[in-house]
Amino acid sequence: MADQVKPFLKYAGGKQWLSRRIIDRLPKHICYVEPFGGMGAVLMAKQKSTVEVWNDIDGGLANTMRIVKYHPQALADELDYMLIHRSERLHWRDCGGETDIQRAARWIMVRHSGYQGGTGKGFHVGRSRAAKPVDSLVEQMRAVSRRLSGVAIEHLPWQRVFDLYDSQESVFFCDPPYADGDQTMYGHPFAEADHRLLAERLRAIKGQWVLTYGDHPLIRELYAGCCIEEARRVRTINQAARREYVELIITP
């Protein structure tokens, strides 16, 4: 397994906890593609492939990953500036930033102050209290930047990614939005018709694939006949409640 490079932010639906099991199910390939990239937890954890592609339809996330890859020091400097000038916090969610680096820094700080990649309003108060978690984030960001060397960063609809990268030597790791998930969480709705279209596309491609989903009757219907494995995880909803989630790992 590759060195333990971890995503620098928590993100809704992140697969860091499941990455080992997913990687073990990847078939031999030349080209590795993530059409629904998110924070790229599986990409970060796996050994490098000859060709690697990360994609996400979220423009803010795609811009951030490009800046992390190409300009990690400039991004770290901007994050430090924002930390010092934390009085500007209320403007971060509304201001797009004048440069791609500023936009990436704002994108990170809004989510760093939230929970599980959300956009909560809380924030670490004071430079001395905030410095440690942000400095740790920057160190993880530098490791991610090194891992992204040689990785193609795309910002495309998932269908276009299949058009461009499908071949007999390709493997697609797909982690689409959950069928019963909060459609507002990702900023780009993924309706039942989209889930059905993805299932049709996966059955038709030349390459191979590994798919993860939250357990749902629609998903079990769409992938009947495929290999469906369950992975269970207990998550804390709040201080008083814990709930078990079932994740599905699906292969042809």
Residues 124 and 101: beta-carbon distance below 8 Å: no
Domain with CATH 1.10.1020.10 in the chain: 59-152
**Fold of the domain built from segment(s) 1-57+156-251:** Rossmann fold (3.40.50)
Output 235 or 217, whichever has higher pLDDT.
Answer: 217
Residues 6+ apart with CB under 8 A from 208: 27, 29, 170, 171, 172, 252
Distance CA 3, CA 12 (A): 23
Domain 59-152, second-level architecture: Orthogonal Bundle (1.10)
Residue with tokens 């993805």: 198
Give alpha helix (H) positions in the chain.
19-24, 41-45, 59-70, 72-84, 89-92, 100-112, 127-147, 158-165, 192-204, 217-222
pLDDT of res. 91: 57
In the three-class reduction of DSSP (H, G, I as helix; E, B as strand; rest coil), residue 43 is classed as helix
**pTM for this prediction:** 0.87
pLDDT of res. 165: 99
Within 10 angstroms of residue 37's Cβ, the number of other Cβ atoms is: 28
Domain with CATH 3.40.50.150 in the chain: 1-57+156-251
End-to-end CA distance of the chain: 24
Q: Of 144, 138, 137, 135, whose CA–CA distance to 41 is shortest?
A: 144
At 57-94, the pLDDT tens digits run 999 999 999 999 999 999 999 998 887 766 555 555 55
At 17-70, the pLDDT tens digits run 999 999 999 999 999 999 999 999 999 999 999 999 999 999 999 999 999 999
Q: Of 75, 102, 77, 76, whose CA–CA distance to 91 is shortest?
A: 102
Asked if pLDDT for residue 126 goes beyond 90, the answer is no
